[in-house]
Structure 1
Amino acid sequence: MTIFDTDAQPEGSANKIYFAAWRWHFYAGLFVIPFLTILALTGMMMLWIAWIDGRDGERTAVVPQEIGLSVSSQSEAAVAAVTGGTLKQYVAPRRDDLAALFRVDADGEATMVAVDPYTAQVIETFPRRSGWYDFLDNIHSDLMLGVVGDRMLETAASLALMLVATGLYMWWPRDAGWRRALTPTLGAGRSLWKSLHGVVGIWMSVFLVFFLISGLAWAGIWGGKMVQAWSQFPAEKWDAVPLSDDTHASMNHDRREVPWALEQTPMPASGSDAGIAGVSGSVTLDSIDLLARAIGFEARYQLNVPSGDTGVWTLSRDSMSTDSTAPTTDRTVHVDQYTGKILADVRYADYSLAGKAMAVGIALHMGTLGLWSVLANTLVCLSVLFLCVSSVVLWWKRRPTKAGRLAAPPMPKEMPLWQGAVLVGLGVSMAFPMAGIALLSVLALDLLVLSKMPRLRQSLT
């Protein structure tokens, strides 16, 4: 094993900046690598489960027949299969050989019922969001720790952006040229691992940044409080339509299902003369389904029944829910439960710029655009796993034997352009609050604890 002097001070201002970037890269990696590994593994497994088996019974097969029964007949069979159940949602099959799905709630629990649309026979019932996909999704979303897990993942994703930035700075070609930066140099031992780590990192950097940013848009602080709050569809576009106290997020169940751009937008309310012509005649489940087909909802779409006296019928189709493979066809329509008038018709074109970017970003992030996106996302996940493993190998080969410490890269005692580094740190902290909290926590730990415990400080350096 090659031995490196981890305490040697670098010479020259360029080398000092390089070592400072390396040190931050090292410490950020200590925190980030476990989380990136979890996200890559669960993300890749979710990709293939969704592609092969689908979610929530959406691939339940039936034998096609010439004529199907009414949606109301199917729903009656679904409700009867759940004791004390109340119909909440109908999900139309995307193909003629697939079952219709109904969400039926009872005692606060949501049950999915797969029904043969030709015979109204109940094929199976199961708790909603109870499959392997959803188990992995719960880990991928918040480590099954709720808000605490969400904050941990947001911190890791924010620091991972710093990891990418410092890694690019270190691997950026200066004298060697781009050929060496973009193609691995064959060798032995640590030099080969370093070359592979750098080459994979620079090729994957753009994709990794995309996945980190699109994932952060779902996070509680950066996404929910900073970005999403300023990027919602403006409800005032619904001219003179009464609004409910509930937002679109009220239609979520256990996880986010409503399009990102609509979550914080108020729902319209039933019970007025507002709206445009929709259902002619009595307003029933069947007439609402006929309206959906008449206004362009083809194949798979979702129909949410009204909740409460002011609730509305909601028709929706979006790629995030795997209703389609084209995020630009996202559409949500609200219908008054009493008059059958259309109160709101929100399409992709109505989203804000951030909302449009997120609609496309979610589809790319989740790999719902077809097999090519599943394969592309799998390649990204495998690359992230390689970067995590190779970073550990590089550290293992660099560390001094029996050193009894982490052997972090040395921090230059005299740091040139330190003011710029401070400004960069402040900028990162303001843009990504959880990264700022992490940096301040490390600084406080160093000043208040490690400075008084030299042996512990030495073991961590």
Structure 2
Amino acid sequence: MKKNDKLNKWLWKWHVISGLVSLPFVMILAITGGIYLFKDNYEANLQREVREVAVQRKTMSYQDQLQKARSQTDFPIDAMVLPNKKNEATKFISGSFGTKSTLYLNPGTGRATGEIPESTTDMFKVRKLHGELWMGGFGTKIVELVASWLIVLLITGLYIWWPSGKFKWKGFFIVRTGQGKRTFFRDLHAVTAIWFSGLLIMILLGGLPWTDVFGGSFKWVQQVTNTGFPDSWQGRGLTSTVNGKTLALDLMVKKAEQLKLSGEVSITLPKSETGVYSISNNPRNPIQMEIYQFDQYSGRKLVHNDWSDIGILMQGRLFFMAFHQGQFGAWNKWLMLFAAFMLLTLSIGAIFSYSLRKKKGWGIPKVPARFQIGKGILVMIVVLGVIFPLFGFSVLLILILELFGGKTRQRRIS
């Protein structure tokens, strides 16, 4: 493929500008993402005294444990997690996400071994830095904008990297080591990006659904196309027939054990007298997700949903989000850590490659004044702007600044 030299310079210009702006944030995301992969390992060691208890000969009923737990916390208890080991403290959950708090109860004594609000943990702070830069909703939008531009950087970088002359392995797929520092770091940046571009796209697809604008738009499309979770997954529209006394939690535990669900299994408590019991799991592989809804008085199964009931867009979202978090096992976690390391490597390569250039001022590649982008590029920008609204907004802002800057330069000349 013969490259258009003017287009190459134009793409290179915006690749450099967007790269300079994005790089600090990309490095923060790579470092914090790599750390957060080991959340479970870190917290299991740090919270061992709270999570583990001496094995008891006799334990309290789960219903009694629930009452004891309620008397030892200021938060309303929403769910209980089934213990997997005899030395595990029983976990009672309040709230979700940032408001989540977990109370650990000794099943033998009925005493709380500790209560851990999610927002007080070290890994919560790492996650906040990774997803919000510790700046709340504004920070989330910055992360989303950077993620959107990263996709553009990969696309423009591919065109810039594409050989215009005779193809050679060195410099395109292999880093050259004997042609000076500038060439080495240029290759370190470009070659690393090429080898891992597909993986980086998958990681970005796993992270973008958490964002505000793109994530909100994605959820809206799911609702309109009915490709998200079915209403029954959240228990909407399901009610229990009020009839005497609510079933004891122990009976629901027996039902949950009989279901033999994979991963961590939770029992969500009824929220009202007509509410329902829910039994669900949190497996490594989202394909194994299941949820059962039961009448809280009779124990009758009302609905059972599994992966096949989830819409196609939500299935894709869950898969990429699980991959992003390294949920599929050790291989996935170490692959994500390696990807974070390579993202840092290509970022460092870009910084040194840029700083070692022989340049004046900022060293931004110059584009011929009469250059006009083709219709194909324009359509691609519009499509990306629609898919990633914050990217589209940033492009409009750039165009306005470019137009204003052009008029200012004309006035100076005249």
Does structure 2 retain, via aligned residues, the 8 Å contact 1:89–1:302?
yes
Question: How far did 1:65 drift?
Answer: 4.6
**Aligned with residue 314 of structure 2, among 355, 366, 369:** 355
Deviations, residues 357-398 of structure 1 (Å, cap 9, x unaligned): 222222211012222222111110011112222212111111
- Aligned residue for 1:126, secondary structure, equals strand
- Partner in structure 2 of residue 218 of structure 1: 210
Does structure 1 retain, via aligned residues, the 8 Å contact 2:327–2:333?
yes
**Aligned with residue 78 of structure 1, among 42, 50, 69:** 69
- What code does the residue aligned with 2:229 have? F
How many residues align? The count is 401
| CA shift in 2, pair 1:18/1:55, >3 Å | farther
Within 2, Cα distance between the matches of 1:372 and 1:385? Answer: 20
| CA shift in 2, pair 1:299/1:427, >3 Å | closer
**Aligned with residue 197 of structure 2, among 173, 185, 205:** 205
Identity across aligned pairs (percent)?
24
Matches within 5 A, 1:316-395: 316-318=280-282, 324-395=283-354
Superposition RMSD in Å: 3.0
- Partner in structure 1 of residue 385 of structure 2: 429
Within 1, Cα distance between the matches of 2:163 and 2:17? Answer: 23
- Partner in structure 2 of residue 270 of structure 1: 239
Residue 192, structure 1, aligned to residue 184, structure 2:
yes
- What code does the residue aligned with 1:29 have? G
| CA shift in 2, pair 1:118/1:47, >3 Å | same
Does structure 2 retain, via aligned residues, the 8 Å contact 1:270–1:338?
no
- Partner in structure 2 of residue 88 of structure 1: 78
- What code does the residue aligned with 2:87 have? D
Question: How far did 1:25 drift?
Answer: 0.8
Within 2, Cα distance between the matches of 1:157 and 1:98? Answer: 40
- Partner in structure 1 of residue 265 of structure 2: 301
- Partner in structure 2 of residue 3 of structure 1: none
- Partner in structure 2 of residue 397 of structure 1: 356
| CA shift in 2, pair 1:178/1:289, >3 Å | farther
Deviations, residues 39-92 of structure 1 (Å, cap 9, x unaligned): 11111111123234349958822333565432223223322222x553222122
| CA shift in 2, pair 1:160/1:25, >3 Å | same
Within 2, Cα distance between the matches of 1:46 and 1:110? Answer: 18
- Partner in structure 2 of residue 233 of structure 1: 229
Within 1, Cα distance between the matches of 2:38 and 2:100? Answer: 25
TM-score (normalised: structure 1): 0.78
Report which stretch shifted further, 157-166 or 181-190.
181-190
Does structure 2 retain, via aligned residues, the 8 Å contact 1:271–1:310?
yes
Question: How far did 1:14 drift?
Answer: 2.0
| CA shift in 2, pair 1:94/1:415, >3 Å | farther
Deviations, residues 142-163 of structure 1 (Å, cap 9, x unaligned): 2233322222211111111000
Does structure 2 retain, via aligned residues, the 8 Å contact 1:23–1:411?
yes
TM-score (normalised: structure 2): 0.87
Within 2, Cα distance between the matches of 1:344 and 1:57? Answer: 36
**Aligned with residue 367 of structure 2, among 375, 395, 411:** 411
Does structure 1 retain, via aligned residues, the 8 Å contact 2:28–2:130?
yes
- Partner in structure 2 of residue 242 of structure 1: none
- Aligned residue for 1:398, secondary structure, equals coil
Gaps of 5+ in 2: none
Deviations, residues 191-228 of structure 1 (Å, cap 9, x unaligned): 01111111110011001111111211222222222354
Does structure 2 retain, via aligned residues, the 8 Å contact 1:23–1:409?
yes
Within 2, Cα distance between the matches of 1:426 and 1:64? Answer: 62
Within 2, Cα distance between the matches of 1:114 and 1:74? Answer: 10
| CA shift in 2, pair 1:69/1:173, >3 Å | farther
| CA shift in 2, pair 1:266/1:33, >3 Å | farther
- What code does the residue aligned with 1:391 have? A
**Aligned with residue 284 of structure 1, among 235, 239, 248:** 248
| CA shift in 2, pair 1:13/1:121, >3 Å | closer
- What code does the residue aligned with 2:398 have? V
- Partner in structure 1 of residue 51 of structure 2: 60
Gaps of 5+ in 1: 1-11, 239-261, 274-279, 319-323
Does structure 2 retain, via aligned residues, the 8 Å contact 1:283–1:339?
yes
